[in-house]
Chain A
Amino acid sequence: MKDQRFKIAHREALIGIGLVIVNFAIWYGFAYGLGSGDPTKYTYVWGFPAWFFYSCIAGTAFMIVLIWLVLKLFFKDVPFEDGEVDE
């Protein structure tokens, strides 16, 4: 039995894993990339240390926009009840 809905579900689960990896990379990269130097010589954005701004503020905002886009572009509506599909 081949259920088309499962193909969609599998693809969306993979997208979820992809998003977590992107999320982690942004979070980790900016935090330790910009934050590892001498704290008295940090540059500041909007009053926050740059590493914090990019990792925790801009990074989070970016993820929310990315998730919204992914939902719009790639996530499909499927019925959940078995009776509603032709198998």
Chain B
Amino acid sequence: MHWQVIFPLFIFLIIIFGIGIWSNKHVRSSNSFLQEYFLGGREMGGFILAMTMIATYGSASSFIGGPGVAYNKGLGWVLLAMAQLPAGYFVLMILGKKFAIIARRYQAITLIDFLRERYNSHVIVILSAISIIVFLFSAMMAQWVGGARLIESLTGLNYTAALFIFAASVLIYVIIGGFRAVALTDTVQGSIMVIGTVILLIGTIVAGGGIDQIMTSLVAENPKLVTPFGAEGELTPLYVSTFWILIGVGVVGLPQIAVRAMSYKDSKSMHLAIIIGTIAIGTIMFGMHLIGVLARPVMPGIEIGDKVMPLLTLKVLPPFLAGIVLAAPMAATMSTVNALLMLVSSTVVKDIYLNYVKPTANDGEIKRASFIVTTVIGLAVVVFALNPPDLLVWLNLFAFGGLEAVFIWSVVLGLYWKKANKYGAIASMITGMTLYIVIDRFYPSIFGMHTVTIPIVASFIIFVIVSYLTANKFKDEKIFI
């Protein structure tokens, strides 16, 4: 590996550290520790909000796994990836102002704070906390393994050493800087993701001799590569359309995304974030997946999909630019991991410790607990990532779809439907999760649709039915929505 490639990566790490130290000043001087540490004092402006949303959403799979699949399936996979465009505007428009207003009124720091105030139910708090901790812990481990593998392949270090470098760089700034550090580093990371995508896209088109020539070679190899149906006609319109639910619309139910919708400063920031976020997510998803397809004629014969992006970068770009572009998947992994770590830690501290273990804790104790919990969870992930247990690997498969199925309706109906009550919410959470796991295990792509479709539809129906059936118990309850 060339030193010129490693140099930009190194600079990137230094900047990230600097942000962590700077944010720690805010954490130490803030008069509301919880709000500062876990929400950055609700001060995010539009650009930062957009970047932290897209950086959290875009993970290693957008930069490494996705282009690898596109390499094998062709333009149909880019079409499917474009279903992610709504992630840029839909969450902020749906949760939008209402969530921001209600979260402030309830003084909610976490998504679970909102659910607790809205539904008044310990069962919901505990169910939600367990699903967040279990699923996101395993998701975090998977990202951690991915990050370490990436450093391993870029630097030639062994896996353990790579894991420690990755862990040390993420843990330090998250622990000392809290949410503010996470959001600010996300801004740097998100920008690198967008810039890296554009550089690599241009480099690949030039290396391939222009779009016309690349398309001609693709058609010559297999005309299906340029259809919407995939190299073997496996991407049916129904499957691809139901994919929208998982990756475009269902994102509303992801706690690590939803919590960002209560962290911004004012409605101007929200408006700006919607447009910037949509442009950024469109650029990344379109660019990276198209790059995977274009790479096929440029570098034929790559067998392992995950190697397409790194190998292509080193081939088509000069070393220094390659370093910048390869910082993008690192940035994507770090920015996802840091959000998950913050979220799991806030769940343990705010939703479990402060609700059930020590409600009377003073500011000093909360501060200590937050630092300790974040550190312990971070280190635990590292230990598990050294030798990933099968159970966690298995749980990670359900993490995103499962969480969406659990949370989407309790959040959305809780915000917009007065009759939504705790029995409906509990029933829908359990239905969503159980169906998701059962369908994923035993009937994958049932009726030709994506796994997430039926759990989301069923948990909605159950929510409404149960809420109506139990409506008379809530006649006198006042609900401020």
The chain A residues found within 8 Å of chain B, CB to CB, are: 1, 3, 5-6, 8-10, 12-13, 15-17, 19-20, 23-24, 27-28, 31-32, 35-36, 38-40, 42, 44, 46-49, 51-52, 55-57, 59-60, 63-64, 67-68, 71, 75-82
Contacts and interface: CB of A to CB of B under 8 A. Distances in A.
Interface size class of B (residues with CB under 8 A): 35 or more
A13 B93 contact: yes
Interface of B: 75, 78-79, 82-83, 85-86, 89-90, 93-94, 96-98, 100-101, 104-105, 210-212, 214-215, 219, 223-224, 226-229, 237, 241, 244, 248-249, 266-268, 271, 274-275, 278-279, 282, 286, 416, 480-481
B211 A48 contact: yes
A32 B237 contact: yes
Interface of A is mostly: helix
B97 A78 contact: yes
The 8 closest A-B CB pairs, nearest first, are A16-B93, A47-B211, A39-B223, A9-B98, A9-B97, A35-B228, A47-B212, A31-B228
A20 B90 CA distance: 7
A42 B226 contact: yes
B35 to A, nearest CB: 13
A56 to B, nearest CB: 5
A82 B274 CA distance: 24
Given A16-B96, A67-B274, A60 B228 contact: no
Contacts of A15: 93
B79 A52 contact: yes
A68 B85 CA distance: 14
B215 A47 contact: yes
Contacts of B275: 64, 67-68, 71
Contacts of B229: 35
Tell which of A3, A16, A42, A47 has the most Cβ of chain B within 10 Å. Answer: A16
A80 B480 contact: no
B451 to A, nearest CB: 19
Contacts of A38: 223
Tell which of B97, B210, B215, B286 has the most Cβ of chain A within 10 Å. Answer: B97
B82 A55 contact: yes
A78 B96 CA distance: 11
A31 to B, nearest CB: 5
A44 to B, nearest CB: 7
Given A13-B93, A64-B282, A48 B215 contact: yes
A8 B97 CA distance: 8
Contacts of B227: 35, 39, 49
A75 B270 CA distance: 10
Nearest to B265: A80
Nearest to A13: B94
A80 B226 contact: no
Contact of A27 (B83, B104, B211, B279): B83
Given A39-B219, A56-B82, A9 B226 contact: no
Contacts of A49: 75, 215, 226-227
